[in-house]
Amino acid sequence: MWTFRVSYMFLLRLRVKPTVHLQAESNSRARTLDQTIDAEGFADYTGILLAHEAFRRLADDRRTRTVPDVGLTADQVFFVAHCIKYCNADKVNRTRELGGAYWHDRSRCIVPLQNMPEFAQAFSCRRGDYMNPDNRCDFW
């Protein structure tokens, strides 16, 4: 059973995510935050954290390979694959204002990665870079 304090801290951390998504989206129109979209953003973030944890548990010989002719490490490919699933020409113009239940695909790709030190390490992002911001929203 969660105490009031634990529940309160959970809600505080969950509310940080929508702000980060709004910063990542290039569209400057006002957006209304709602629980469905907040929950989907949380699911995106926790999903990649869990997937990356499973990836890290692969045997070293599988996890440390470099993809031939591409020059990406397996770790980098993991993060690229996270974003590829959001690349779809049919959905390019879909935004929250048009009734979508999700954040824009661009921010669904970028925001979880901006908040993962593992991404910054894989791509050697310096502290303060766009993909390695000084202020991360670390739920856990």
Residues contacting 58, CB < 8 A, separation 6+: none
* pLDDT(19) > 70: no
* pLDDT(113) > 90: yes
The pLDDT-based confidence of 27 (bands split at 50, 70, 90) is: very low
Burial environment of residue 126 by CB neighbours within 10 A (0 to 12, 13 to 18, 19 or more): exposed
What are residue 28's DSSP bridge partners? none
Residues contacting 63, CB < 8 A, separation 6+: 55, 56, 74, 75
Helix axes 4-24, 35-56, angle to 10 degrees: 90
Give me the chain's average pLDDT, please. Answer: 74
* pLDDT(102) > 90: no
* pLDDT(6) > 60: no
The verdict on pTM exceeding 0.85 is: no
Query: Distance between CA atoms of 65 and 63, rounded to whole angstroms?
Result: 6
Looking at per-residue pLDDT, the higher value among 21 and 103 belongs to 103
Residue pair 45/139 in contact (Cβ under 8 Å)? The answer is: yes
* pLDDT(26) > 80: no
* pLDDT(29) > 60: no
The pLDDT-based confidence of 59 (bands split at 50, 70, 90) is: confident
* pLDDT(4) > 70: no
As a dihedral over the C-alpha atoms of residue 8, residue 12, residue 15, residue 19, rounded to 10 degrees, the angle is: 170
The pLDDT-based confidence of 122 (bands split at 50, 70, 90) is: very high
Can you give the residue ranges of every domain in the chain? Answer: 4-25+34-122
Strands 66-67 and 72-73: antiparallel
Query: Distance between CA atoms of 83 and 112, rounded to whole angstroms?
Result: 10
32, two tokens = 């209304």
